[in-house]
Structure 1
Amino acid sequence: MSSTIHVVGGAGTAPTEKAAYDAALADANLHNYNLVPVSSVVPADAEVVRVEEAPDLGPAGNRLNVVQAEASTVGPETVAAGIGWATGPGAGLFYEADAESESDVRDRLETGLDAGRALRDWTFDHEETLIERAEAAPGEHTCVVVLATYGESEPIC
């Protein structure tokens, strides 16, 4: 059975760091789930799809498995986070990174994916990245997130 992994980014600004994180999740339409971080392996039967906003993945409060890149700052600063992925006919890899600049995130993603591919005897024929960047105004808490959501959410209890 194949499943879809949605990759989505978001940015948010709020009076506190946690509120900015919640706002960034809301921008990605993932603010109503209990996020469970998983390591960065793409199952062989999964399709990875970049989306502008996460679709409805189940009821509020459910558990949702994710790979997440997240970065927060208080302005005046720039912040960026991203996920890169390499896939092929079998399993694939995600790699997460954050930094002050989009170019630093891109470099870290490429370096990480290269290292991950070198550890595995797998075939990779596709590579992609999604980077979210934001500039925080003076005194503002700003957060950026990029998440890869594994399938549908599940009840937490």
Structure 2
Amino acid sequence: MKVSITSGKSEGPTRLNAFDNALLDAGIGDVNLIPVSSILPRDTEIVELPPIKEGEMVNCVLSYVHSDHPGDFITAVVAVATSDDFGCVVEHSGVNQDPEKIRSEAKTMVEYMMQVRGLEIREIIIADENHKVIKEAVAVAAVVYLK
């Protein structure tokens, strides 16, 4: 199994348009996203996001945050932990919070998920997207499961 970690941010005239634009910015706006829970199969390889055929059905773990308050600072985070057995993913987000605090919380949560499963962490990868809202904005971070 291969996965990609990606993120994006954008403004738009409506919440839905801002979300769509953020997905486009992340490179996953022309596919059908299917939300899945937070487990990576054994031997998952993390790769750069390749082009994906338009309309493809794509599993993902998606973190997103929206605000329509000018000046707000929004942050979306995914944290991925791998082991020799399998891995876990956490999605987290916040508004007007220190991005490092949100990243740290996501890291702590994914470490805990691995600990309760008795998995020794091989690697942790954290990706985030931050944005200062102008009018109507969304930030996304995602783990995309590839075929």
Q: Normalising by structure 1, what TM-score?
A: 0.86
Please point out which of 123, 127, 132 is paired with 2:129. Answer: 132
Amino acid corresponding to residue 65 of structure 1 in structure 2: N
Please point out which of 37, 56, 65 is paired with 1:62. Answer: 56
Aligned-residue sequence identity (percent) comes to: 24
Alignment coverage as a number of residue pairs: 144
> What is the deviation of 1:111?
2.2
Amino acid corresponding to residue 27 of structure 1 in structure 2: D
Separation (CA, whole Å) in 2 of partners of 1:55 and 1:78: 29
Residue 20 of structure 1 is matched in structure 2 by 18
For structure 1, list consecutive stretches of 5 or more residues without a partner in the other structure.
153-157
Say which SS state the counterpart of residue 79 (structure 1) adopts.
strand
> What is the deviation of 1:126?
0.9
Q: Which runs of 4+ in 1 moved over 2 A?
A: none
- Of residues 97-106 and 80-89 in structure 1, the stretch that sits farther from structure 2 once superposed is 97-106
For structure 2, list consecutive stretches of 5 or more residues without a partner in the other structure.
none
The question of whether the paired residues in 1 share the 8 Å contact of 2:42 and 2:86 is answered with yes
Amino acid corresponding to residue 99 of structure 1 in structure 2: G
Say which SS state the counterpart of residue 111 (structure 1) adopts.
helix
C-alpha RMSD of the superposition: 1.2
Separation (CA, whole Å) in 2 of partners of 1:113 and 1:29: 25
Say which SS state the counterpart of residue 121 (structure 1) adopts.
coil
Residue 30 of structure 2 is matched in structure 1 by 32
Separation (CA, whole Å) in 2 of partners of 1:131 and 1:143: 13
Residue 145 of structure 1 is matched in structure 2 by 140
Say which SS state the counterpart of residue 6 (structure 2) adopts.
strand
Separation (CA, whole Å) in 2 of partners of 1:98 and 1:35: 19
Q: Normalising by structure 2, what TM-score?
A: 0.92
Say which SS state the counterpart of residue 125 (structure 2) adopts.
strand
> What is the deviation of 1:113?
1.2
Say which SS state the counterpart of residue 115 (structure 1) adopts.
helix
Separation (CA, whole Å) in 1 of partners of 2:111 and 2:75: 20
Note the alpha carbon deviations across 1:108-134, whole angstroms, 9 max, x for none.
202211220221022212112001000
